């Protein structure tokens, strides 16, 4: 190894050490109540670290032979260094060289304003993120099955989220959050469920609420999806193994479509959430209310709705919005769009808008998957609305009752918001909501459940058997028995998990069977609706619900593949059995 290579390696190691110090400093400042003098020390340390970042980047660039290619590939880091140096030159121009001494001063901030320090902290976070995307490639190189990688990524996010929620400043003064409740909240947010053991709006500080919101966003998209997108954004690119990993995770047919799909998924997500937040802001705005409060509520509920999370800043969820039809319809639109699945959204027109390339040939005819998703979703939404409208006693005028029926039918499909008290629903409507929760959203979406396509394939198989057909047909197409087998596994595994968890909950909890079943299906389908059982759960009950949420978010098939994934594929065929009687 040459001297130059040793220096470059030392720079990488030193940056890793500086990154750890920077993260520790940020966590200490924003997560703990510390002495003002130590806070000043940490703020100056942040500035010193960001100056070091600029120095190490310049030194590393100077030592490389292909400087132009390196700068072009690492355009984001180059831009950060330019910003740092420009800011430093501005400070020196306004305050002189004495500003450099003030960086390390403990007792005075001098020319380093609070805004400068916050800016340095933002640059630290961005620089660490730009380096951390390498982790995505290292994970892809590990000899894990994609299902196992997905499980590990969600576990990692949940653990980090739990630790962050336990920070003193994440909780409002006077409240105490146990590690189990923090784990429950982090799992519920990451699995975009929405079940809560403590009230989000009154128990957590704004920092805690933002941590929950970040977990919702990460859980809705998936950490591997975000990491791969960031790798593309920062110019790192995706290796072959990374593409193969994302190919199986995102159910994309061709490796060449991975980049476009990743960009489309992230773009559609942020676009929908921004539009939803803007509409909610318009419909929630009141002159008497602080502007920043309205913006915060609009953004939080927009992200929570599109990710089908169901977390709300209000203790009564969205019951207080009953007289705001525009806001409720905006939330339902976000829920429906998030529940259709990214592939369906792209096929409905998103891809044409995003790519804008003449050479792209998009088939105007919808695929069987899209037609099945839209058809089943429409039937469930319309059927659920009509059933609830006529069965549930009306409270107030008919237009308001129709809106509540429609909203309940939508939110039962893994969203988790409620505008009526779930415990007050009649038994027939409660059973319908359980059924809707069990079916859930569509594949590749932010929702859970067994998925609409699973229901469609099972129903098509039933029709084929009744009509005596040898093939399963949907929209004049034959469906392979491999797809049917997957649907059967998902259905059987889901029923089994719910049955076992319900039995266990009936042992640990003193509650009616209806409430227990409702809670378990809501957890497994990552819905978040509750009849009031969640806050009263015992420790074992919380653990059961945590496991149910985790399995439900990952999907029964993913969990099964992660457990049974073979190291080597064995090609063995056994004799066919024809004398087993069923039915």
Weakest-pLDDT range from 93-97, 185-189, 508-512: 93-97
- 490 dihedral zone (left: phi>0; alpha: psi -120 to 50; beta): alpha
Q: With a cut of 70, say whether residue 581 has pLDDT above it.
A: no
| Section 457-472 average pLDDT | 88
* Percentage with pLDDT > 90 across the chain: 42
Q: Are the beta carbons of 446 and 339 closer than 8 angstroms?
A: yes
Residue 127 pLDDT grade (very low, low, confident, very high; cuts 50, 70, 90): low
Q: C-alpha angle 280/285/291, rounded to 5°?
A: 105
Segments in 166-234 forming alpha helices (H): 179-190, 200-203, 206-221, 223-233
| Section 488-513 average pLDDT | 94
Task: Give the pLDDT confidence of 229-268 residue by residue, as tens digits.
Answer: 666 665 555 555 556 556 555 555 555 566 777 788 888 8
Q: With a cut of 80, say whether residue 74 has pLDDT above it.
A: no
Q: With a cut of 50, say whether residue 108 has pLDDT above it.
A: no
Q: Going by C-beta distance under 8 Å and a sequence separation of 6 or more, which residues neighbour residue 24?
A: none
Q: Are the beta carbons of 123 and 84 closer than 8 angstroms?
A: yes
* 552's tokens: 């439900």
* pLDDT at residue 149, as a whole number: 73
Residue 376 pLDDT grade (very low, low, confident, very high; cuts 50, 70, 90): very high
Average pLDDT score over the chain: 81
Q: Going by C-beta distance under 8 Å and a sequence separation of 6 or more, which residues neighbour residue 42?
A: 25, 28, 29, 34
Q: Are the beta carbons of 274 and 257 closer than 8 angstroms?
A: no
Q: With a cut of 70, say whether residue 358 has pLDDT above it.
A: no
Residue 402 pLDDT grade (very low, low, confident, very high; cuts 50, 70, 90): very high
How far from 210 is each of 165, 207, 222, 440, 557, CA to CA, in Å?
10, 5, 17, 27, 32
* 392's tokens: 């549930």
Q: Are the beta carbons of 429 and 391 closer than 8 angstroms?
A: yes
* pLDDT at residue 112, as a whole number: 46
Q: With a cut of 70, say whether residue 449 has pLDDT above it.
A: yes
The position carrying tokens 């949907």 is 474
Weakest-pLDDT range from 5-9, 17-21, 149-153, 557-561: 557-561
Q: With a cut of 60, say whether residue 489 has pLDDT above it.
A: yes
Mean pLDDT is highest, among 22-31, 336-345, 458-467, 500-509, for: 500-509
Task: Give the pLDDT confidence of 182-206 residue by residue, as tens digits.
Answer: 999 999 999 999 999 999 999 999 9
Q: With a cut of 50, say whether residue 138 has pLDDT above it.
A: yes
CB atoms within 10 A of CB 485: 11
């Amino acid at each position: 190894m040459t001297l130059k290579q040793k220096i470059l390696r030392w720079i990488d190691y030193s940056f890793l050490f500086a990154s750890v110090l920077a993260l520790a400093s940020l966590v200490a400042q924003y997560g703990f109540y510390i002495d003002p003098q130590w806070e000043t020390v940490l703020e100056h340390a942040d500035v010193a670290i960001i100056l070091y970042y600029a120095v190490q980047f310049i030194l590393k660039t100077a030592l490389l032979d292909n400087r132009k290619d390196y700068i072009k590939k690492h355009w984001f880091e180059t831009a950060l260094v330019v910003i740092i140096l420009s800011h430093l030159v501005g400070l020196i121009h306004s305050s002189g060289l004495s500003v450099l001494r003030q960086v390390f001063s403990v007792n005075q901030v001098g020319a380093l304003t609070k805004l400068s320090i916050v800016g340095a902290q933002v640059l630290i976070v961005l620089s660490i993120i730009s380096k951390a995307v390498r982790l995505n490639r290292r994970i892809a190189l590990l000899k894990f099955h994609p299902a196992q990688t997905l499980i590990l990524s969600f576990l990692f996010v949940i653990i980090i989220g739990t630790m962050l929620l336990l920070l003193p400043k994440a909780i409002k003064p006077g409240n105490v959050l146990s590690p189990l409740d923090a784990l429950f909240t982090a799992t519920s947010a990451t699995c975009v469920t929405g079940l809560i053991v403590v009230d989000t709006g009154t128990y957590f500080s704004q920092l805690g609420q933002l941590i929950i919101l970040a977990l919702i966003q990460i859980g809705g998209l998936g950490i591997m999806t975000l990491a791969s997108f960031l790798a593309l954004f920062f110019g790192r690119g995706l290796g072959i193994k990374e593409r193969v990993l994302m190919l199986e995770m995102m159910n994309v047919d061709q490796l060449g479509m991975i980049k476009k799909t990743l960009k489309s998924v992230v773009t559609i997500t942020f676009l929908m959430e921004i539009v939803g937040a803007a509409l909610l802001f318009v419909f929630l705005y009141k002159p008497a209310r602080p502007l920043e409060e309205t913006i915060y509520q609009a953004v939080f509920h927009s992200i929570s709705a599109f990710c089908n999370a169901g977390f709300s800043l209000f203790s009564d969820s969205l019951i207080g919005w009953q007289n705001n039809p525009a806001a409720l319809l905006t939330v339902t639109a976000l829920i429906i769009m998030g529940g259709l699945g990214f592939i369906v959204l792209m096929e409905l027109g998103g891809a044409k808008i995003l790519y804008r390339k003449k050479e792209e040939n998009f088939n105007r005819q919808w695929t069987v998957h899209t037609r099945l998703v839209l058809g089943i979703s429409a039937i469930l939404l319309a059927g659920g609305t009509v059933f609830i409208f006529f069965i549930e006693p009306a409270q107030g005028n008919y237009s308001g009752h129709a809106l509540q029926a429609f909203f309940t039918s939508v939110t039962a499909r893994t969203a988790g918001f409620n505008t009526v008290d779930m415990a007050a629903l009649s038994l027939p409507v409660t059973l319908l909501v359980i059924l809707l929760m069990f079916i859930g959203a569509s594949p590749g979406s932010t929702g859970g459940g067994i998925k609409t396509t699973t229901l469609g394939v099972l129903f098509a198989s039933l029709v084929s058997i009744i009509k005596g057909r040898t093939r399963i047909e949907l929209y004049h197409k034959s469906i392979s028995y491999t797809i049917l087998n997957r649907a059967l596994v998902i259905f059987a595994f889901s029923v089994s998990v719910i049955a076992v968890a319900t039995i266990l909950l009936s042992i640990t909890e003193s509650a009616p069977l209806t409430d227990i079943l409702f809670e378990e299906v809501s957890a497994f389908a990552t819905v978040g609706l509750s009849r009031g059982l969640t806050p009263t759960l015992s420790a074992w009950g919380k653990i059961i619900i945590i496991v149910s949420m985790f399995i439900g978010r990952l999907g029964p098939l993913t969990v099964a593949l992660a457990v049974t994934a073979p190291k080597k594929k064995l090609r063995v065929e056994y004799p066919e059995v024809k004398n087993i009687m069923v039915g």
